[in-house]
Amino acid sequence: MGKLVVANWKMNKTIGEAEEFCSHFDKRAGNYMICCSATLIKPVFDCLKDRSKVGAQNICAYEEGAYTGEISAKMVKDAGADVTILGHSERRHIFNETNDDLRKKLDIANKYGLQVIFCVGETLEEHDNIESVLVNQLEILTKEDLGNLIIAYEPVWAIGTGKVATEEDILVAHKIVKDYVKRNYGNDVKVLYGGSVKPENAAEILKLNCVDGVLVGGASLDPVKFESLIKTANEVL
């Protein structure tokens, strides 16, 4: 198994486009997951079968009931998702998701056995205080979460901007995250890097020992690029 490549399709693709994507890349390619909109979970699940995990990008903080417009952990699980992203910076910043909301979502994910890809990262203004920003985001985790949790370090200033964090930035941030988790929970945790990862820069990022994989937005929408990222992630080991 190579390092992990996770696609974050964000709010992109119709069912037809998702199916076309799946027919255009080698589903046996390696170690990857596709996190997509709720409408795409079932069609992507049907295309990938037992080859890979399909994931949601968010779940509701409540279990079920009068929450118009929300989608529950039970629903995404029922559609075929084994995993969900939580705490992506677009959710934190555009939809004002707080640590309290995320704590509730983690509890629901645990209850339904969904693996969580928990995103942390600092804005450009916060970069000088990176340790306290990351620790504040990590502090809501409990020992129970860590059984099946992956953390994604995504500097907000590198998401969708074409600006990739330097090797030094990635080493510093991943060390903060891994040390924090080890110190407080005694666990080793897998940490992905995310932020403008593309075929041209993936090898340099994935070859770093502290990087267990990548979370990819823009470049994951194209099946040729996505396949090439998975190939690179297989080769770095």
Which sequence positions are flagged as catalytic? 88, 154
Q: How far apart are CA 185 and CA 183, in angstroms?
A: 6
Interface residues for ligand PGA in 18-37 (CB under 6 A)?
Answer: none
Report the residue number, 66 or 94, with the smaller CB distance to ligand PGA. Answer: 94
Least Cβ distance, residue 164 to ligand PGA (angstroms): 9
- Sequence-distant (6+) residues with CB within 8 A of 124 are 156, 157
Beta bridge partners of 32: 5
Least Cβ distance, residue 152 to ligand PGA (angstroms): 7
Q: CA geometry: angle at 42 spanning 41 and 46, to 5°?
A: 115
Segment contacting ligand PGA (CB under 6 A): 66-74, 104-112, 137-145, 213-221? 213-221
x/- binding map, residues 171-200, to ligand PGA, per CB under 6 A? -----------------------xxxx---
Interface residues for ligand PGA in 129-158 (CB under 6 A)?
Answer: 154
CB-nearest residue to ligand PGA? 217
Q: Which long-range contacts (CB under 8 A, 24 or more apart) does 179-184 make?
A: 180/134, 180/135, 180/138, 181/138, 181/141, 181/146, 181/151
Q: How far apart are CA 164 and CA 195, in angstroms?
A: 6
Least Cβ distance, residue 159 to ligand PGA (angstroms): 4
Segment contacting ligand PGA (CB under 6 A): 47-55, 96-104, 175-183, 216-224? 216-224
Helices and strands (H and E) in the chain: how many: 9, 8
Binding site for ligand PGA (CB under 6 A): 8, 154, 159-160, 194-197, 215-219
